[in-house]
């Protein structure tokens, strides 16, 4: 991916998300060591200041707080003060409601209301994942992403359902229509399945 032009890497310690603690620190640290030029954002099992500090010292640029942000919203503000410029909130939604604990539990809290709570804390951005779309290769939830970006003042990183260049083009068009607000998009399975050419997508976003 680096050879194809990738400058930023989204990592998830999925084991950590389920365990509630870091599990794959060694692999993550090795990636950061091998590719110091990469901007790395990491989520999964991040539930304490000590964990955040350890990852930042290992070379991770941004940590994504997910379940902990839902359970203890005040934790986000505290971490923004302690590690300014390094905190992203990850909100996973199903039908507009927040999911947590590796998507095992859907709450009665709306994505929008929680996002609005965090925007004054000093977070860098919000990664918004539509879990009904994620990994399904059925297209990104453009409407929900746009609605969220219109509602809050911090950048939104779109995630879930990205399939091909049409999704990239649609998100870029939406960002232009909003005059900013959607700062990026995460793609995973589409690259593995070969339905999205990463190098082409990077070139397109840079040139448009």
Q: Are 81 and 122 in contact (CB under 8 A)?
A: yes
Specify the pLDDT at position 140: 85
Q: Is the pLDDT of residue 135 over 70?
A: no
197: which DSSP letter?
-
Mean pLDDT value across the chain: 92
**pLDDT per residue as tens digits for the range 137-187:** 567 888 899 999 999 999 999 998 899 999 999 999 999 999 999 999 999
For residue 68, CA distances in Å to 5, 20, 74 come to 33, 9, 9
- Of 143, 204, 149, 199, nearest to 172 by C-alpha is 204
Q: Are 116 and 136 in contact (CB under 8 A)?
A: no
Specify the pLDDT at position 141: 86
Would you give the distance in Å from CA 5 to the centre of its chain?
A: 19
Q: Are 127 and 64 in contact (CB under 8 A)?
A: yes
Q: Which of 2-11, 43-52, 83-92, 99-108 is predicted least confidently?
A: 99-108
**pLDDT per residue as tens digits for the range 63-110:** 999 989 999 999 999 999 999 999 999 999 888 899 876 666 788 999
Please count the residues of the chain: 208
Q: Are 79 and 68 in contact (CB under 8 A)?
A: no
Specify the pLDDT at position 20: 83
Specify the pLDDT at position 83: 98
């Amino acid at each position: 991916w680096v050879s194809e032009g990738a400058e930023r890497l989204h990592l998830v310690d999925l084991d950590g998300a389920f365990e509630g603690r870091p599990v794959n620190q060694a692999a993550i640290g090795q990636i950061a060591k091998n590719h110091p030029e990469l901007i790395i954002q990491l989520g999964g099992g991040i539930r304490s200041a000590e964990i955040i500090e350890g990852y930042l010292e290992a070379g991770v640029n941004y940590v994504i707080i997910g379940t902990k942000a839902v359970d203890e919203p005040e934790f986000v503000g505290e971490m923004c003060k302690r590690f300014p410029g390094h905190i992203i909130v990850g909100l996973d939604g199903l039908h507009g409601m927040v999911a947590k604990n590796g998507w095992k539990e859907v709450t009665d809290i709306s994505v929008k209301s929680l996002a609005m709570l965090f925007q004054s804390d000093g977070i860098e951005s919000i990664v918004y994942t539509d879990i009904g779309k994620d990994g399904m290769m059925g297209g990104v939830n453009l409407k929900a992403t746009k609605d969220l970006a219109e509602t809050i003042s911090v950048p939104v990183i779109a995630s879930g359902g990205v399939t091909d260049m049409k999704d990239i083009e649609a998100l870029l068009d939406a960002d232009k229509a909003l005059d900013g607000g959607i700062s990026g998009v995460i793609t995973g399975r589409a690259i593995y399945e070969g339905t999205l050419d990463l190098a082409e997508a990077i070139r397109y976003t840079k040139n448009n």
